[in-house]
Amino acid sequence: MPEYIKNIKKTLLSDNWAILHKVTFDYRDSKGNWEPQVREVYDRGNGAAVILYNKEKNTVILTEQFRMPTYYNGNPSGMLIEVCAGLLDHHDPETAIKKEIEEETGYHLSKVESVMDLYMSPGSVTETVHLFIAAYSEKDKVSEGGGVIEEHEDILVHEYAFAKAYNMIKTGEIKDAKTVILLQYLKLQGILR
C-alpha cells in the first residue's frame, strides 16, 4: 500500500449493472498531514475502443447511439457519435475490440493496432480504456452491424470523410473523449489528412 493512504474501508452502495462503493480512507497530503477522505468509486470493468479508417478513401467509421447519461446531463436527443467501443467482458483487449467491431459496425477485421491505454474519468470510475486503430476496406464488411439485439443495442453506423469527422469536434457534433482522442491520433500521426 502507498505510504500516503491508510485505513481503507469500503461500503457497497450498488451492484446492479456495475459496482459502486463508498470508500473512506486517511490520506497524507504533501505537507505530511493525515486527513480523512470519502469517495465513491464506480467499477464497471475495463473497456476497449477503436477507430476504423480507410487510407484510400480518407474515411472513418463512427457509430451513433442513445446514451442516457448524456441525455440526463442536458444532451437534448441523448444521441452520441463515437468510435466503436465496449467492455472487455473477461476477454483480452484485442479479442474484445475485434468482437465489438463486428457486432457494432459489421466489419470483420483480423488486425488492430494498440495505441494507448487511458483512464477516462479517474476521479470516480476505475475503468481503463484500451484504444486501438484499425484499417478497413469494403471487402471486410460482413453484416450491417448495429449491435446485439439481446443487449438492447440500437447502433447506427456512419462512414465519414475524415475532414468532416475531424471538423465535427469543432462544431460540437462529436463530444465523446475517446473519439476526439482517436481522431486527433490519426491526424497527428499523419495516417489520414
Query: Which three cell numbers mark 131?
Result: 484504444
Cell, residue 23: 470508500
Residue 127 annotated as binding?
A: no
| One-letter amino acid for residue 183 of the chain | L
Q: How far apart are the first and last CA of the chain?
A: 46
Is 3 flagged in the annotation as binding?
no
CA gap 49, 129 in Å, rounded: 7
Residue labelled with grid coordinates 470519502: 38
Tell me whether residue 161 is annotated as binding: no
User: Residue 65 belongs to what H/E stretch?
Assistant: strand 59-66
Question: Strand, coil or helix: what is 85?
Answer: strand
A 10 A CB-CB count for 158 gives 13
Question: Phi, psi at residue 70, to the nearest 5°?
Answer: -70, -40
134 is in an annotated binding site: no
Residues in binding site: 85, 100, 104, 153
Residues in binding site for Mg(2+): 85, 100, 104, 153
